[in-house]
Structure formats: structure tokens, C-alpha cells
Amino acid sequence: MAGVSQPASGAAVVVRLGNAVDAEVAARLHAGLITEGFLSALGPRFLRRLYRRVALSDDSFLLVAEGPDPVGDGSGIGGGPAAGFLAGALDLGALYRRFVLHDGVAAAVGSLPELLRSWRRAWETLRHGTSGGGEEEAGPRVAELLSIAVDPAWQGRQVGTLLVQGFLDELARRGAGGAQVVVGADNGPAIALYRRCGFVPGQSFALHRGTVSLLMRRPVGAGPQDMGPGAQPDGAGSA
């Protein structure tokens, strides 16, 4: 799978499937840019293990967006040409169970103080993953957009749109019937991105005590024409 964005300036951004090595970049972008949820608090080492498992599992995947390094020296958060990443899972509960089984001991030992400090939020996150977003589901398989982050040097240049389009294409290829994402109710840029890509806000709920999260959903298999006005991911700005 590979999507290419080729803006008029000629600075192409390519979205490709990530592998275990890309877990490093995903962890760095996540730790540096995603402040909601508790995963960032567990640090890049924990995140690297998690994203490695995402890349290695059959029913989850990483997407990496790459372009010419806009800061010229590889010092962007992701390092090198990494402009952004996205993690998706067709079965979030299965992914978390596999992570606990294969990586749980090492991840827990490496992040013990952080886990002890935030055990409640860890449990709440696991519970969300294994409960299908708080709703009992019958019908088509609903996949989850776990996380997305775009290096600040690339934000506002349609890289996020290109990643979400890549996510939806990958879900269609794998036969998922729908997609959902849980986002902090106060994360305006992310909610605007998901809306633009055809996600519709549903229920609000407290994933973690004292926070408000929004569940957003859309069907899979609909074409890019259903991603909303101006949503064609056909350019990454003028880098």
C-alpha cells in the first residue's frame, strides 16, 4: 500500500505501510505530539514496544508519511524524512491481548513507575480496547484509528488527511465495514481532520475520569468523494 501526494511545488509526501523499524519514529512522534490519553506518559520505550507490536500483528498496521525533510537537517521530531504516522487496528482487543502476552512483562518492567502512577488509566484504556468502544456491536467489523501525529513542520499541509485516507484504503483492502476513533473532546484540530475525512461525532464519554472523549465513526468502502468538501488529499502544501 502506498499513497502519494504530489503538490504543485514538487515536494511529494509518500504514505507507506510501516514495519518494526518504523516503531521508533512512531514512538518519538507520539511522545512528542500526543498529549491526550496516558500512553505518552509511559515514554518512548513503552511506545516503541507497542508500535512494534502494531506493525508486526496481522490485524493492525502502521502507516508512515515521508517527505523531503522540511527543516533540512533531520532534526524534526520524527527524525529524517518522517512527516507523520498513523496506527490502526482491525481488532483493538486482540491487539492489546497480544501486546500483554508478548510484551507485557518487558514493557511493565521498563515503565513500572509510570504504570504504577497511572494504573487506573491503563486499565480504562485496556477496557475500552476490549469492549468495542463502550458499545455492544453486532454487524460489520469496526476498526480503530489508534493514533495519528504529524510533525509540526508538516502540519496544515494535508499530511494528516493523506494518512487518514491511507488508513481508510487499508481498511477497505482488509474488508473492514467501519472505522472509529476516540478523540479528546477539546482536540479541535484532530476533530476537524476526522470530520473532513467523513467521520461523524457520536457519543461523548469519560474514557478517563475527569476527561471528555468523543467517539467518531464512518463507514468504510465509501470513496474519497464522501470525505467531505475539499477533502481530496492531493497536496501536502508548499514545502
Determine the interface stretch with ligand COA among 130-138, 151-159, 167-175, 198-206 (rule: CB under 6 A): 151-159
CB of 103 to ligand COA, least distance (A): 21
Task: Verify binding: residue 157, ligand COA, rule CB under 6 A.
Answer: yes
For residue 10, is it left (φ>0), alpha (ψ between -120 and 50) or beta? left
Out of 68, 74, 188, 221, the only residue in the binding site for ligand COA (CB under 6 A) is 188
Residue ranges of alpha helices (H) inside 150-187 are: 159-174
Give the distance from CA 22 to its chain's centroid. 13
CB of 137 to ligand COA, least distance (A): 22
Give me the residue label for grid cell 520524527: 78
Cα–Cα nearest to 161, from 201, 208, 207, 195: 195
Binding mask 189-228 for ligand COA (x = CB under 6 A): xx-xx--x--------------------------------
Choose between 190 and 239: whose C-beta lies nearer to ligand COA: 190
What is d(CA 227, CA 15) in angstroms, rounded to the nearest whole number? 18
CB of 138 to ligand COA, least distance (A): 27
> What counts of helices (H) and strands (E) characterise the chain?
7, 8
Q: Residues in the site for ligand COA, rule: CB under 6 A?
A: 33-34, 36, 147-150, 155-161, 183, 187-190, 192-193, 196, 230
